[in-house]
Structure 1
Amino acid sequence: MDFDLDSVRADLDSLAALGLDHIRVFPLWPLFQPNRTLIRPRAVEQLVQLADAAAERGLDVNVDGLQGHLSSFDFLPAWTRTWHRRNLFTDPEVCAGQEEYLRTLAAALADRPHFLGMTLGNEINQFSDRPHPDPDRITDAQATAWLERMLAACERGAPGRMHLHAAYDAAWYQDGHPFTPAQAARLGAVTAVHSWVFNGTAQRHGPTGTATEQHAAYLIELSKAWARDPHRPVWLQEVGAPAPHIPEAGAARFTEATVVNALDCPDVWGVTWWCSHDVSRSLADFPELEYGLGLLDSARRVKPAGRAIAALVADRRGRTRRPPVRTTALAVDVGGGDAAPRRSVCAPGGPVFEAWAELTAQGVRPALVLAELASDSAHLTSRGITEVCTPDEVVRSPRRPSSSFPDRRSTS
């Protein structure tokens, strides 16, 4: 609210010093559009100033528009709540206001070469279903219609930029959730995945378990099961090291392992760490884990995770290594790919998740393929897959990969 460009520049300087090349920024929706027919010009101007300051430091900018939700707090304008309570995804007037807001932000940045594009909002799917205490219930068809309309608004504002949407992992793991894997992997310019191991992964497998250090890679590969384009780019758009699930002493190891494993997946567009700087302890009521997720602390001192990221950037700058194709795939039976009514099989503890982690621990680099496509030779060939197994065929033992599943169905 008290925009200070010098403070913003100092934050950006501290990120550029780590070697980073882009940022996500989060304009708070109620501050930018306090009334359905008022988008504050001064707020939009400040967003452009931030983007220009980032560009001066070689940082590209992606803007998450409908904020929406951040770090356990909801930021919704008063014209959608209480006395004006209306569904965020289906009310005609609310949708028209959102559409114009997203178009306006995109248009303001359209001529900036360092502007990557718009993300519709940060995990806005959390408003549509449990465990939100007051969800705006919708169907998957209504979610699709809303996503398509809002992405079109961004495209009108800034044609040809990388506009996308982003969901938290209920889209991949929660049965009946209206935002689906098919939407994530087919709508927008790239697929975004948000990887948080406090979802049961670290609790089940520990901070250094294969499944924990490979969770981001798993989500990247899982998204490809639904993609129609075999080389659709995937953005690991949000990942961090949450304490106490990842102890402070292990944050650097987890950071390095997560990024290295993610970059071993083909077609990764980029990796964005959550978050830049710690939340100041002077601010109240954040969940404990939200305070310490930064690469730097709130005084801009680099933390171990930040040093790990900086070392990875320095090591890989200028390298163009493409990871090899993953030729072995695990079949994913979710009861039909579009609605995925049984997608919880993909969640931590589910048979797909645990079999993928087991294969990975044994040295296999598994891909994932929808069960209904597991015998489609054209689809498998387009992805370089030569053999497919089911979760039931994965032998939970430390044997070498060649004996991991004895009855493979070869497609070569």
Structure 2
Amino acid sequence: MPSSASLSSASPSGAPRFGANYTPGQGWFHHWLDFDLDAVRADLDAIASLGLDHIRVFPIWPYFQPNRTLIRPRAVEQLVQLADAAAERGLDVNVDGLQGHLSSFDFLPAWTQTWHRRNIFADPDVISGQADYLRTLAAALADRPNFIGMTIGNEINQFSAGPHPDPDRVTEEQAESWLRTVLAACEEGAPGKLHLHAEYDAAWYQDDQPFTPAQAARLGAVTAVHSWVFNGTAQRHGRTAAATRHHAAYMIELSKAWATDPRRPVWLQEVGAPAPLIPAEHAAEFTEDTVQAALDCQDVWGVTWWCSHDVSRDLADFPELEYSLGLLTNEGKVKPAGEAIARIVREWRGRPYAPASRTTAVVVDDDLSRRSECAPGGAVFEAFARLVADGVRPAVVLAGRASDTEHLAARGITEVVTPGEVG
């Protein structure tokens, strides 16, 4: 677990960080196969021009570790070169290790599949290989002052349950054991850095997902939130509704309900404006509304937009929305959402970040088999959205803490309401 010193250095003076998930303009994440440092530098120049202070970087696991006992030195060297190029442009770097899954495509090493099929969360040899890999990446970057820390992997929980077509199923206990092991490997490689794990929203919303809200909100240095309104929010409520504009804020507050530390930092690590649910002409407005709402929550470590660059249409078979999520075109031209982010960064530079406490809290059941009540259309989600539409700034509290006066006082909560009590 990082020291308080490393946390403060990662987020100076408590001010929120602003960054982008780095999607290379040329070749998407396949750029690792024919790594071009000059092309990377051009991408990073464009990202830095928006005033951002960090990027999230995605090695492709089978490209870096094609055999369980082979972690390619050249690939690791190129990752360090990327981090150094980012430092030259004033950008800090967070590295996701186990990709894993990106933009609807799965990347798993051959030594975990078909004739070598082993559960990536439970097989001891696979876990040992993963730990070696994460430890190696962390150690290679440990002395870089712009290295924030490791994220275990991008939304890797999607491999653990449906709707994945071929999941590696595990129990909640196995998922937690796996998380503790791989987080420890990151800490061994780079002691004192900000190491975390990140799940897609099934951890919060899906009743049978073995990765849980408690794990998300209690393991690792910060809680990661990935907010995507294509999860039924925008389809149900429309692009202008409070539920859509405040979805990221809702997920931040939901995560705080499960945290044992009332001041635990929350990183809005992924959020984007998916077309056509958010039409291109409204992307800037959605971006500004989403970030404004998120930063009205306490303890936000930072906001990292998905993503830096559009996916080139020279690449086939992506879901349509993936081609247009960038703040920049794949040629590096700034888009309206990028202009909006740049404005937000300028407005927040030097501005105090001190949102007031949220005094009204919606009660959420502790029972993991009722997580769907927190999803779009669920009782907790809809109650929160109605309160926001009525001008309330709601929080969320676990039912088991709803009468815990010490916990409520620590969070500044003075009123507790059940979903049924919200008109």
Category of TM-score, reference length = shorter chain: over 0.9
Cα displacement (A) at 1:321: 2.8
- Please name the residue that 2:382 is paired with: 354
1:231-290 CA distance string (max 9 Å, x none)? 000000000000111111110110000001000000000000000000000000111011
C-alpha contact (below 8 Å) 1:334/1:345 kept by paired residues:
no
**Residue 316 (structure 2) aligned to one of 280, 284, 291:** 284
Is 1:385 aligned to residue 417 of structure 2? no
Tell me how far apart the structure 1 counterparts of residues 336 and 248 of structure 2 sit (CA, whole Å): 20
The corresponding residue for 2:207 is 175
Q: Judge conservation of contact 1:277–1:294 (CA < 8 Å) in 2.
A: yes
User: Which structure's CA Rg is the greater one?
Assistant: 1
> For the Cα contact (< 8 Å) 1:186–1:228, is it kept in 2?
yes
Q: Quote the residue 1:204 is aligned against.
A: 236
Residue 133 (1) aligns with residue 165 (2): yes
Residue number among 356, 363, 369 corresponding to 1:341 in the alignment? 369
Q: Distance in 2 between matches of 1:354 and 1:125?
A: 25
Amino acid at match of 1:374: A
Q: 1:112: which partner in 2?
A: 144
Residue in 2 that maps onto 1:408: none
How far apart in 1 are the matches of 2:411 and 2:338? 34
Residues in 2 aligned to 1:343 and 1:183: alpha-carbon distance in whole angstroms: 14
Residue 190 (structure 1) aligns with:
222
1:341 alignment partner, SS class: helix
* Partner of residue 304, structure 1: 336
Which one of 398, 401, 408 corresponds to residue 370 of structure 1? 398
Report the Cα offset of residue 40 of structure 1: 0.3
In 1, are the aligned partners of 2:194 and 2:221 still within 8 Å (CA)?
yes
The aligned counterpart of 2:296 is 264
Per-residue displacement from partner, 1:90-145 (whole Å, max 9, x unpaired)? 11110000000000000000000100000000000000000111100000000000
Segments of 5+ residues of structure 1 without an aligned counterpart are 396-412
Please tell me the root mean square deviation across aligned C-alpha atoms, in Å: 0.6
- 3-state SS, counterpart of residue 270 of structure 2: strand
Question: Corresponding residue for 1:405?
Answer: none
8 Å CA contact retained: 2:100, 2:156: yes
Provide Cα deviations, 1:65-113, integer angstroms capped at 9, x if missing partner: 0010000000111000011110000111100000000000000000001
- The gaps in structure 2 that reach 5 residues or longer are 1-32
Q: Tell me what 1:399 maps to.
A: none
CA distance in 1, matches of 2:405, 2:223: 24
Q: Match for 1:68 among 100, 115, 120?
A: 100
Percent of matched pairs sharing the same residue: 77
- The letter of the residue matching 1:341 is S
TM-score when normalising by structure 1? 0.94
Aligned letter for 1:380?
L
Counterpart amino acid of 2:138?
A
Say which structure, 1 or 2, has more relative contact order (CA 8 Å, 6+ apart).
Answer: 2
* SS of equivalent to 1:221: helix
**Aligned structure 1 segments of 4 or more residues deviating by more than 4 angstroms:** none
AA paired with 2:136? T
SS in 2 for 1:295: coil
Tell me whether 1:2 sits opposite 2:34 in the alignment: yes
Aligned to 1:227: 259
